Structure 1
Amino acid sequence: MATQATILLVEDNPDDERLAIRALRRANISAEILIARNGEEALATVFNTNCLPIVMILDLKLPKIDGLDVLRAIRADAKTRLLPVVILTSSSEQRDIIDSYDLGANSYVRKPIEFDRFTEAVGQLAIYWTGINEPITLER
């Protein structure tokens, strides 16, 4: 399965969604931004496409299916197991951090409370995953 120049943002908080989109645009990210507002939508988006996003930015505390279960499902499927997943959450609980890495998260970032720090963190994530990291591009 190929990757495409899209970012899948999985976020149920409308304010954080708006801030993240704003940060991505401020960072001059040209990738299309797909939004999933719960875990069920995230899995449907990933499993019902021919091209994977270049990265999934995943909140943990989600309705319907929580972020850890989304990550578990992605890593369990051969066609999505290599999809880069960045956890972006307000949780600083050690159990969430450990579980995320145990399940194969590529990165764990705690959402900064301050607007400027939040936009900087999201912008830096996007720059790395869309401009510096070498994505998988082979058909699977």
Structure 2
Amino acid sequence: MKSLKILFVEDDLIEVMKFHRVLEKLQSDHQVIEASNAEFALNILRDQQYKPDIIILDLNMPKINGIEFLNILKKDALFKYIPIIILTTSANQRDVKECFEIGIAGYLLKPLKYDDYVLIIKGLLDYWSQNILISI
């Protein structure tokens, strides 16, 4: 399995710490860049020095929410092929449908139990580290 460059867009510091704890537990060598909101994520992407293999995105964020961020990325030729996986607490079917219509690669719910979270993140990383990804 290859090492992934991951842009992790999450505004909750506890969720960011939990994600990193899982990566440590899995002894992962994936490179993670964090963005505390979608505006910051756009700045990272537009800087051209960091092109992630995948983006893991929370929906509920200040300023630009996850759905607005998705719309921006999927209309941009440089970013539209980057797989975006939603990792959120929202099970709202309207959100799920809208995200898939925009073009996400997956929609995962944050589980309450840590062990379940570990399994979800492990599955996500195992899957995407075996995929052939478009590099532009």
TM-score normalised by L of structure 2: 0.92
Letter in 2 for 1:135: L
> CA–CA distance in 2 between the matches of 1:82 and 1:31?
20
1:1-140 aligned within 5 A: 5-130=4-129, 132-137=130-135, 140=136
> CA–CA distance in 2 between the matches of 1:51 and 1:36?
12
Judge conservation of contact 1:39–1:67 (CA < 8 Å) in 2. Answer: yes
For structure 1, the 5+ residue unaligned runs are: none
More displaced 10-residue stretch of structure 1: 107-116 or 22-31: 22-31
In the TM superposition, what is the alpha-carbon distance from 1:29 to its structure 2 partner? Answer: 2.3
More displaced 10-residue stretch of structure 1: 5-14 or 71-80: 5-14
Higher relative contact order (CA closer than 8 Å, sequence separation 6+): 1
Please give the root-mean-square deviation of Cα atoms over the aligned residues, in Å: 1.4
More strand by percentage = 1
For structure 2, the 5+ residue unaligned runs are: none
Determine helix, strand or coil for the equivalent of 2:52: strand
In the TM superposition, what is the alpha-carbon distance from 1:136 to its structure 2 partner? Answer: 1.6
Overall identity of the aligned pairs, in %: 31
In the TM superposition, what is the alpha-carbon distance from 1:26 to its structure 2 partner? Answer: 2.2
Determine helix, strand or coil for the equivalent of 1:134: coil
In the TM superposition, what is the alpha-carbon distance from 1:31 to its structure 2 partner? Answer: 1.9
Partner deviation per Cα, 1:43-94 (whole Å, 9 max, x = no partner)? 1111222442011000000111100111111100001110010000000000
How many residue pairs were aligned?
Answer: 134
Judge conservation of contact 1:5–1:54 (CA < 8 Å) in 2. Answer: yes
Partner deviation per Cα, 1:116-139 (whole Å, 9 max, x = no partner)? 111221122112212x111123xx
